[in-house]
């Protein structure tokens, strides 16, 4: 045993060497020499003996950049504890002149091997929601009790760090198995684990997570930490700032306790990491025209430095990360100094403190690897906030890469790199080495079947004690083609040696830890060396695997000169955009010199053609869509780029691009690509064309053709003004033809206007056909239509202005219906027979009055007969003359500042757009306008425009007796509100009742229609003697059987409460000629059956797909999902707002509207675009694209008591100003207490339970049922 004096371990803790970390030991004589001759029991010998087990490894993480100086941490991996031998209490670290000779009797550092029990308190972290506060920690005689008991909550998360070495025993567990989890370093506990102790050599993590469902009573564990482990453990302490003594080459580590230190040390070479100068210059110019390949002279300059051994150049990314290991999800280079356990990737998931030997790495990458001696694994704990992102490689596919130097064959397949799943028995991904030195790649599989695995060919084992580059890949093919499943691949030294088809990937809940060189859970460890270990969340292309093998190094020179150069000709990795030059020393690298990489690539294929239509309204400025006919071969290009040009092929030198489009853009399809140019572009001097060139812009590849394909510039500059108005009144009584004068009010500024162009336009004000061009020079802008046939879809006449620079796209249109006969016809005719007699009718006929009654003399109801698609009157039922009571309205305008409405106006219009009143006030705090002669019962729309100070204005609409009708409630302008004028109309007949727009005609019970009549028809008789178009509705005879069963008997034979069984006996009706069967119901009395059970809510179908500017056809389309909504007060968040909704969606609600009290009801919608149907007929048409939800045009009709078939179709097209998505259906009538309100949930259903009858028997049945 080595003889040493005890003065370096004085009990007072003093030491003359200020660089020494001193451990105060209990008073004891220094025991030296052999213990083999000691007397006494084995326990006494053990207590009086110095340690006999040496440390396994030492690592000093030097963070001092000065040469000859070391500072940082020292980590020592202790041996597996021998329970029968003496304990190790500390490790002493000395400077050594070789592997066994210390330079001093005083250690430079002392590392405790036993933790202070008071320092082992577990530490807890959560998601800043207080979950750690619910974890109870209590000290015990030998450690801690940790518990979460007493009905835990949903969505709890806590991560508890336990200091190692130590052990933990589960003492109680009551959780929802499989959904709520308690896991130690990835092993998740079950009830079978209660009472079982689990040891850990380093810091361990206990993770508690719950879902959002069932809750139970929790768990309790007992933890003991900081003791010498039964397995090898790593002990870490500070290494004091020190100067390396002259002659020192090694660190010597002695195991020690109160009796002394053992004689044989562990030796490790001193690794002095120092600051190295970066190269001074790096240059390269590509001469290859091929995208993705560079060729040329690479030159590096560097100052001479005795500590620099090599100059290397690598590919790098735009984020200045060197390609290769550091470009992965995680990456470990195992470089000496402070980088031994560092993750060089973006994630920064450093390994737990390591104590292992650095060994020379593979020649292909240089540097150092890590020696794994079969007793430990390198571990990195992945924080909870990164779990999901890194576990997503299960869906994106992954590539795992490592240099492997196997020394000792494992007894079973051993993990080189991997991550366990929810259960330690499964792997999310893994690279393994078999006992035959074969590579085994593993991906998560269905736990009922087992993992997906692929093993390299038996004839191609890895060579023992030889560096080999290994890659495992898992490609998820099934995401694009489910029939192909997925594929595992194995590459050895850059060559594909095995490819295995596997099933669809199976997502596995990942454990917190990533492990390298073993599987601690099973005490299975690799014996050999590893280097350049990485995991990528992508499939590294096969062409790049060889680059990955060399660390993407493209040049390397031994140091000694000041300049270096080499001709390179190599492929460029897809994400390489920089070059990195580094100086490499004995133990470390210097900071890289980084320059941009330009892959000079020139396409050879131009676009086939270009068109451009200027849509910028300004003279001399341009904007719009450039339509590019794509090249016939796009293999050498990625973009089309637009420039100003001087000819059809030449762009103007030195000018910036106007816009570009990638060939991978979603809009590029069907042989064309669109380049969108913003408005307001002013051409460069000399520009006469737009020229588009083919270009390459991908990673480092950048270049474009010198010439292109162009189109001459044509400036679109229509007049900036528009007509002040347009009006037209049809006087033609023939349906589908119009006559009358179209009168245009000139624009206030006619500068540049040459003509006013009249068009037929559809409901969206899109031009259909040109009617005429009226010269601006004409004294009168009037055009007469005579018996003009309305084109299909025509709903308006629109006027647009034309000038020398083109014609305006939009314009001003007429309001209301064009066709006179449509405007004068009755609307929404309905009839439901209530007379039970056969071929006898009775009930109420409903219809809405004509939109334009000025020329209506009377309405007529006829019996009619349908022939083909037309009904013809047979005989007259009733004539109705109408007269309306008139009401006076008061509109009060208020301004809070006292300076009038500042440009805000109000407009009151009929449903056909005719003006009833309009106005504003110019000064003061308020003004009231009186509006006389308004038809009682009419439905009108009030519009209030914005003005320049909208926050100041408010208003109230009242009747003459101050009954409030509407009041302002929003600052969203223009504000459109629909209302009904109080009061009713009158008529000339007792059988007729007029309520505003609604007319009700009572048909007496017992009325028999004339022979051949099968319809009820309504029309208007006009003052000219002609009639309007007719509307009709089919006669459906309500005629239930008149006879009834003569008796019913039932005897219950079921003893259960509120349960019955037995035989129902019916006495047949005396006359069964009109009876097909008998139904038996539960009844509320001897004669009244219970009504069918209503199924509450409206049934909806959700369709997620891109939306256009109007409602798409939903008939026959398969819905994305279906369900029930309680009401039509809907917002997009009712579906959770998945991201897929960003492309737009549509919804169809269907069911019934229940009316309790018959009467006239008014309806209005607030939506992003919709149509409302009643009995299949359009009730509200608000089918327009909006940037904000708004009120649509309302309507009214008479509804009988009962259920009415209702359908609502709604669409939402993506718009930045409308992120919510809203659909609201309001109504006003007796059931809503004559006020506007959303249709309540109890008035909506999606059907009735048609099986509410409890028995049915056909009249052909015999006996009883």
pLDDT band of residue 1135 (cuts 50, 70, 90) is low
pLDDT of residue 24: 30
Residue 1110, domain member (yes or no): yes
User: What does the alpha-carbon distance between residue 1244 and residue 1126 come to, in Å, rounded to a whole number?
Assistant: 8
Residue 1084, domain member (yes or no): no
pLDDT band of residue 710 (cuts 50, 70, 90) is very high
Mean pLDDT along residues 592-604: 90
- What is the gyration radius of the CA atoms in the chain, in angstroms? 44
Return all residues near 1207 (Cβ < 8 A) that are at least 6 apart: 1148, 1149, 1150, 1172, 1173, 1176
* pLDDT tens digits for range 543-558: 899 999 999 999 999 9
pLDDT of residue 627: 93
Instruction: Tell me: do 905 and 948 sit in the same domain.
Output: yes
Edge-first strand order for the sheet with 310-316 is 553-558, 310-316, 578-584, 593-596
pLDDT of residue 1250: 54
Instruction: Tell me: do 614 and 760 sit in the same domain.
Output: no
Residue 203, domain member (yes or no): yes
Mean pLDDT along residues 524-545: 92
The answer to which of 149-158, 358-367, 618-627, 1107-1116 has the lowest mean pLDDT is 1107-1116
User: What does the alpha-carbon distance between residue 513 and residue 387 come to, in Å, rounded to a whole number?
Assistant: 10
CATH number (domain holding residue 895): 2.60.60
User: What does the alpha-carbon distance between residue 707 and residue 1043 come to, in Å, rounded to a whole number?
Assistant: 93
* pLDDT tens digits for range 324-351: 999 888 999 998 887 888 999 888 888 8
Joined tokens for residue 749: 């500024």
Mean pLDDT along residues 596-601: 87
User: What does the alpha-carbon distance between residue 875 and residue 863 come to, in Å, rounded to a whole number?
Assistant: 5
Mean pLDDT along residues 92-102: 95
Residue 338, domain member (yes or no): yes
Joined tokens for residue 1193: 């045009």
Residue 396, domain member (yes or no): yes
Instruction: Tell me: do 406 and 497 sit in the same domain.
Output: yes
CATH number (domain holding residue 458): 2.60.120.200
Instruction: Tell me: do 510 and 404 sit in the same domain.
Output: yes
pLDDT band of residue 119 (cuts 50, 70, 90) is low
Would you say the C-alpha torsion 1242, 1246, 1252, 1253 has a positive or negative sign? positive
Instruction: Tell me: do 374 and 242 sit in the same domain.
Output: no
CB 831 within 8 Å of CB 802: no
Instruction: Tell me: do 387 and 400 sit in the same domain.
Output: yes
212 DSSP 8-state letter: S
Answer yes or no: is pLDDT of 19 > 60.
no
b/e burial code for range 195-209 (CB count within 10 A of at least 16 → b):
eeebbbbbbbbbbbb
pLDDT band of residue 667 (cuts 50, 70, 90) is low
CATH number (domain holding residue 152): 2.60.120.290
Residue 1122, domain member (yes or no): yes
pLDDT band of residue 711 (cuts 50, 70, 90) is very high
pLDDT of residue 972: 58
Looking at the DSSP bridge assignments, the partners of residue 378 are 516
The answer to which of 599-613, 948-962, 1104-1118 has the lowest mean pLDDT is 1104-1118
CATH number (domain holding residue 284): 2.60.40.10
CATH number (domain holding residue 875): 2.60.40
Phi, psi (degrees; rounded to nearest 5) at 530: -135, 150
Instruction: Tell me: do 1222 and 1160 sit in the same domain.
Output: yes
Residue 1049, domain member (yes or no): no
Answer yes or no: is pLDDT of 495 > 50.
yes
| Residue of 605 and 1254 predicted with greater confidence | 605
Total-model pTM: 0.54
pLDDT of residue 379: 84
Mean pLDDT along residues 158-175: 87
Return all residues near 488 (Cβ < 8 A) that are at least 6 apart: 441, 443, 452, 453, 454, 472, 473, 474, 499, 500, 502
Answer yes or no: is pLDDT of 421 > 90.
no
Instruction: Tell me: do 587 and 688 sit in the same domain.
Output: no
Instruction: Tell me: do 170 and 128 sit in the same domain.
Output: yes
Task: Return the residue matching tokens 């609604």.
Answer: 998
* pLDDT tens digits for range 740-777: 999 999 999 998 899 999 999 987 788 999 999 999 99
Instruction: Tell me: do 1123 and 1232 sit in the same domain.
Output: yes
The answer to which of 65-69, 527-531, 641-645, 1065-1069 has the lowest mean pLDDT is 1065-1069
User: What does the alpha-carbon distance between residue 573 and residue 533 come to, in Å, rounded to a whole number?
Assistant: 19
* pLDDT tens digits for range 996-1048: 677 889 999 999 999 999 999 999 988 778 888 888 999 988 888 888 888 88
Q: How many CB atoms lie within 10 A of CB 1134?
A: 16
Answer yes or no: is pLDDT of 481 > 60.
no
Residue 161, domain member (yes or no): yes
The answer to which of 237-246, 439-448, 687-696, 1021-1030 has the lowest mean pLDDT is 439-448
Is residue 718 classed exposed, middle or buried when 0-12, 13-18 and 19+ CB atoms within 10 A define those classes?
Answer: buried
Which of 946, 980, 1014 delimits the end of a domain? 980
Answer yes or no: is pLDDT of 1137 > 70.
no
Instruction: Tell me: do 358 and 478 sit in the same domain.
Output: yes
Most confident of 278-292, 380-394, 508-522, 971-985: 278-292
Instruction: Tell me: do 625 and 766 sit in the same domain.
Output: no
| Residue of 425 and 151 predicted with greater confidence | 151
Looking at the DSSP bridge assignments, the partners of residue 60 are 74
| Residue of 383 and 1167 predicted with greater confidence | 1167
- Mean pLDDT, the chain, rounded, equals 83
How many domains, in total, are found in the chain?
9
The answer to which of 662-666, 848-852, 1191-1195 has the lowest mean pLDDT is 1191-1195
Alpha helix (H) ranges present in 189-274? none
pLDDT of residue 29: 28
> What share of the chain has pLDDT > 70, as a percent?
86
- Domain that residue 685 falls in: 604-712
pLDDT of residue 971: 58
User: What does the alpha-carbon distance between residue 645 and residue 688 come to, in Å, rounded to a whole number?
Assistant: 6
CB 239 within 8 Å of CB 78: no
User: What does the alpha-carbon distance between residue 417 and residue 379 come to, in Å, rounded to a whole number?
Assistant: 10
Which of 954, 980, 1006 delimits the end of a domain? 980
Mean pLDDT along residues 920-937: 87
Most confident of 251-255, 335-339, 1245-1249: 251-255
The answer to which of 773-782, 838-847, 933-942, 1062-1071 has the lowest mean pLDDT is 933-942
pLDDT of residue 151: 81
Which of 712, 746, 765 delimits the end of a domain? 712
């Amino acid at each position: 045993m080595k003889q040493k004096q005890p003065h370096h371990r004085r009990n007072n803790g003093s030491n003359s060497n200020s660089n020494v970390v001193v451990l105060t030991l209990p008073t004891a004589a220094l025991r030296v020499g052999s213990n083999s001759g000691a007397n006494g029991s084995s326990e006494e010998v053990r207590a009086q003996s110095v340690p006999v087990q040496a440390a396994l490894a030492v690592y000093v993480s030097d963070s001092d950049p000065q040469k000859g100086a070391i500072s940082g941490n020292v980590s020592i991996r202790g041996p597996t504890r021998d329970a029968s031998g003496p304990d190790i209490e500390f490790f002493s670290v000395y400077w050594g002149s070789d592997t066994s000779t210390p330079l001093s009797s005083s250690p430079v550092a002392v590392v405790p091997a036993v933790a202070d029990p008071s320092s082992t308190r577990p530490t807890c972290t959560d998601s800043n929601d207080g979950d750690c506060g619910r974890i109870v920690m209590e000290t015990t005689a030998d450690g801690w009790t940790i518990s979460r008991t007493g009905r835990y909550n949903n969505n709890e998360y806590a991560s508890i760090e336990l200091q190692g070495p130590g052990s933990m025993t589960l003492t109680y567990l009551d959780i929802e198995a499989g959904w709520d989890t308690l896991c130690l370093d990835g092993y998740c506990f079950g009830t079978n684990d209660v009472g079982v102790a689990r040891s850990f050599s380093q810091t361990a993590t206990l993770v508690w997570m719950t879902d959002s469902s069932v809750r139970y009573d929790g768990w309790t564990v007992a933890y003991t930490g900081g003791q010498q482990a039964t397995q090898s453990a790593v002990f870490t302490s500070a290494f004091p700032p020190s100067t390396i003594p002259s002659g020192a080459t090694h660190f010597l580590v002695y195991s020690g306790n109160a009796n002394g230190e053992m004689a044989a040390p562990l030796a490790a070479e001193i690794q002095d990491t120092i600051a190295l100068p970066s190269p001074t210059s790096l240059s390269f110019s590509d001469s290859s025209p091929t995208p993705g390949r560079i060729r040329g002279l690479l030159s590096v300059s560097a100052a001479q430095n005795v500590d620099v051994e090599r100059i290397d150049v690598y590919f790098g990314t735009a984020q200045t990360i060197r390609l290769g290991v550091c470009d992965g999800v995680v990456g470990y280079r195992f470089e000496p100094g402070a980088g031994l356990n560092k993750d060089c990737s973006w994630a920064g998931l450093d390994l737990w403190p390591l104590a292992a030997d650095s060994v020379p790495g593979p020649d292909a990458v240089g540097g150092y690897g890590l020696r794994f001696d079969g007793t430990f694994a390198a571990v990195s704990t992945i924080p909870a906030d990164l779990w999901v992102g890194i576990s997503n490689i299960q869906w994106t596919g992954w590539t795992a890469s490592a240099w492997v130097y196997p020394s000792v064959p494992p007894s079973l397949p051993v993990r080189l790199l991997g991550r366990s799943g929810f259960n330690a028995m499964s792997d999310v991904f893994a690279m393994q080495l078999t006992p035959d030195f074969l590579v085994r790649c593993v991906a998560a599989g269905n736990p009922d079947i087992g993992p997906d695995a692929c093993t390299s060919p038996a004839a191609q084992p890895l060579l023992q004690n030889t560096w080999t580059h290994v890659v495992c890949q898992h490609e998820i093919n099934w995401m694009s083609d489910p029939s192909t499943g997925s594929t595992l691949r194995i590459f050895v030294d850059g060559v594909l040696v095995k490819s295995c088809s596997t099933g669809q990937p199976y997502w596995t809940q990942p454990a917190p830890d990533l492990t390298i060189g073993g599987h601690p859970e099973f005490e299975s460890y690799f014996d050999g060396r590893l280097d350049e270990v990485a995991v990528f969340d992508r499939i590294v292309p096969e062409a790049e695997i060889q680059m990955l093998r060399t660390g993407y190094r493209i040049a390397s020179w031994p140091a000694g000169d000041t300049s270096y150069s080499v001709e390179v000709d190599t492929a460029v990795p897809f994400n390489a955009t920089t070059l990195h030059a580094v100086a490499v020393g004995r133990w470390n690298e210097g900071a890289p010199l980084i320059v941009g990489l330009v892959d000079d690539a020139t396409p050879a294929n131009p676009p086939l053609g270009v068109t451009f239509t200027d849509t910028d309204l300004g003279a001399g400025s341009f904007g719009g869509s450039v339509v590019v006919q794509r090249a016939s071969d796009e293999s050498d290009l990625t973009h089309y780029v637009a420039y100003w040009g001087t000819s059809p092929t030449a762009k103007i030198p030195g000018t910036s691009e106007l816009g570009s489009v990638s060939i991978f853009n979603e809009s590029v399809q069907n042989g064309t690509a669109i380049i969108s140019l913003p408005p307001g572009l002013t051409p460069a001097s000399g520009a006469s064309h737009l020229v588009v060139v083919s270009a390459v812009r991908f990673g480092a590849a950048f270049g474009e053709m010198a010439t292109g394909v162009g189109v001459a510039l044509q400036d679109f500059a229509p007049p900036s003004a528009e007509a002040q108005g347009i009006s037209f009144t049809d006087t033609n009584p023939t349906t589908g033809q119009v006559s009358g004068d179209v009168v245009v009010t000139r624009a206030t500024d006619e500068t540049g206007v040459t003509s006013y162009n009249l068009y037929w336009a559809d409901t969206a004000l899109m031009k259909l056909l040109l009617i005429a061009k009226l010269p601006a020079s004409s004294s009168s802008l009037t055009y007469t239509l005579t018996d003009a046939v309305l084109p299909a879809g025509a709903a308006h006449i629109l006027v647009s202005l034309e000038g020398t620079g083109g014609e305006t796209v939009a314009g001003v249109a007429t309001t209301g219906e064009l066709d006179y006969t449509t405007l004068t016809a009755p609307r929404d005719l309905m009839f439901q027979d209530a007379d039970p007699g056969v071929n006898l009718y009775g009930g109420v006929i409903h219809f809405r009055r004509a939109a334009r009654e000025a020329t209506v003399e009377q309405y007529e109801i006829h019996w009619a007969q349908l022939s083909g698609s037309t009904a013809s009157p047979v005989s007259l039922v009733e004539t109705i003359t109408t007269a309306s009571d008139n009401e006076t309205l008061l509109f009060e305008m208020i301004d809070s500042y006292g300076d009038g409405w500042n440009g805000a106006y109000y407009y009151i219009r009929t449903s056909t757009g005719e003006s009833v009143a309009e106005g504003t006030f110019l000064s003061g705090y308020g003004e009231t306008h009186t509006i006389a002669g308004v038809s009682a019962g009419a439905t009108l729309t009030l519009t209030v425009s914005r003005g320049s100070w909208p926050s100041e204005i408010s208003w109230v609409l009242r009747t003459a007796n101050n009954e409030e009708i509407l009041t302002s409630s929003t600052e969203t302008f223009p504000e459109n509100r629909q209302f009904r004028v109080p009061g009713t109309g009158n008529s000339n007949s007792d059988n007729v009742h007029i309520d505003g727009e609604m007319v009700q005609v009572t048909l007496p019970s017992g009325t028999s229609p004339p022979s051949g009549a099968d319809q009820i028809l309504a029309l208007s008789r006009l003052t000219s003697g002609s009639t309007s178009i007719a509307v009709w509705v089919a006669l459906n005879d309500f005629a239930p059987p008149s006879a009834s069963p003569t008796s019913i008997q039932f005897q219950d034979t079921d003893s259960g409460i509120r349960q019955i069984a037995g035989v129902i006996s019916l006495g047949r009706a005396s006359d069964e000629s009109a009876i097909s069967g008998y139904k038996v119901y539960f009844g509320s009395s001897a004669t009244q059956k219970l009504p069918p059970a209503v199924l509450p809510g409206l049934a909806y179908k959700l369709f997620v797909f891109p939306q256009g500017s109007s409602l798409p056809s939903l008939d026959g389309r398969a819905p994305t999902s279906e369900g029930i909504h309680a009401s039509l007060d809907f917002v997009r968040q009712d579906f959770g707002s998945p991201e897929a909704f960003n492309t737009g969606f549509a919804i169809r609600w269907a069911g019934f509207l229940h009316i309790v009290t018959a009467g006239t009801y008014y309806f209005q919608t607030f939506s992003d675009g919709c149509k409302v149907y009643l009995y299949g007929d359009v009730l509200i048409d608000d089918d327009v694209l909006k940037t904000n939800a708004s009120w649509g045009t309302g309507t009214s009709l008479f509804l009988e008591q009962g259920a009415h078939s209702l359908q609502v179709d709604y669409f939402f097209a993506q718009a930045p100003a409308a992120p919510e998505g809203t659909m609201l259906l309001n109504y006003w009538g007796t059931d809503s207490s004559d006020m506007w309100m959303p249709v309540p949930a109890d008035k909506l259903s999606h059907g009735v339970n048609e099986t509410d009858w409890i028995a049915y028997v056909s009249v052909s049945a015999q006996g009883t049922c």
